[in-house]
Amino acid sequence: MAVHSAVVHATVHVPQERQSVSAVEDRFRAGSPGIPMSRGVLRHMYGLAQRTVAPPEEQPSDLAVHAARSLLEESGTPARKVDLLLYAGILADMEEPATAHVVAAKLGVDCPVFDLKNACNGVLNALEVADAFVRTGQYRRVLITSAEVSTRESRWNVTDPDEVLAALPSLSTGDMGSAVLVSASTRPGILGSRFFANSWGWQAATLPNPYANHRTMGRLEIDSARLVASFDGMPAKVRGAVRELGVDVEDFDLVCVHQPSVPFTRVACDWVGVDPSRILSTFPAHGNVATNTIPLQLATALHSDRLHPGDLVGMFGFASGASAGVVICRW
């Protein structure tokens, strides 16, 4: 009998603290007194209303564990039944060992683990990996975890006006943890995935490793125009991949796209060929939660009765590097 993989459940852990867009702007003005900032600029440029902020004592592993615990409880999955744990966040507790070990230890999971990283597409790539492992019989249940504490990389102190545009995206990030469970199934669940890369565009969005820079934390810099340009040719490849997998975008009951801002969400919808009204908008109330964006949309759809067994789901990721990918599944 053929073994298939299926996405069983998705959850997120949303920190209780919120930082309003006006509070973000006020703090930036206080830290960068020589840089003029008009009120409402972040809402106008990015569509931000507020962002989620994790407690200062919590690490990425803590947020991931909060989400994973909820997932195991809600799905009725004992921790001992997890065969592989992946951590797919951009930010990590430490360079060594893999943050997946820290998550597993806090969660009480006794199984193989490893980290998987590809900017904001980490979770989508983890779904691709989990699907392959399950279908080949290597593992039956794969727990994908992720977390970001990106608000800690916000650039409050800017002295050079030429750096403002590269610094502003760091003010629109949000903190969150997420978890997705992939399990063996007798019916087709994950129907296929395709990924593409334009690696020549890697310099458009960077956060240098402190260990590669004499232990000095690098600054998050994003050239938004250059980043969009780095996706050259990918939209057509993504749309072609959907057709290759035997699906039309109109067939999807739920479409999830990466949401680093409201304007980029509209651009991504145009690239995919889907009306923006079909997307569950998550950015304005949470900020750019990076790798957690797709799980957040899945969890939101589940809790708002927008996702049901048998629904066809299309998940589309566009991440710095640049990379693009699509994962299609039957819920």
Residue 215 has pLDDT above 60, yes or no: no
Query: CA–CA separation, 262 vs 42, rounded Å?
Result: 11
The residue-averaged pLDDT of 305-329 equals 96
Residue 286 has pLDDT above 90, yes or no: yes
* pLDDT at res. 224: 87
Q: What is the pLDDT of residues 100-156, one digit of tens each?
A: 999 999 999 999 999 999 999 999 999 999 999 999 999 999 999 999 999 999 999
Q: Are 74 and 11 in contact (CB under 8 A)?
A: yes
Quickly count: other Cβ atoms within 10 Å of residue 84's Cβ.
22
Q: What is the pLDDT of residues 16-50, one digit of tens each?
A: 999 999 999 999 999 999 898 889 999 999 999 99
pTM of the model: 0.95
Helix, strand or coil for residue 324? strand
Query: CA–CA separation, 89 vs 121, rounded Å?
Result: 9
Query: CA–CA separation, 265 vs 270, rounded Å?
Result: 9
Read off the tokens for 313. 């789901």
Omega of the bond prior to 188 within 30 degrees of 0, cis?
no
Read off the tokens for 272. 């995919």
Q: What is the pLDDT of residues 250-265, one digit of tens each?
A: 999 999 999 999 999 9
Give the bridge partners for 143, in sequence order.
Answer: 85, 181
Burial class (CB in 10 A: 0-12, 13-18, 19+), 122: buried
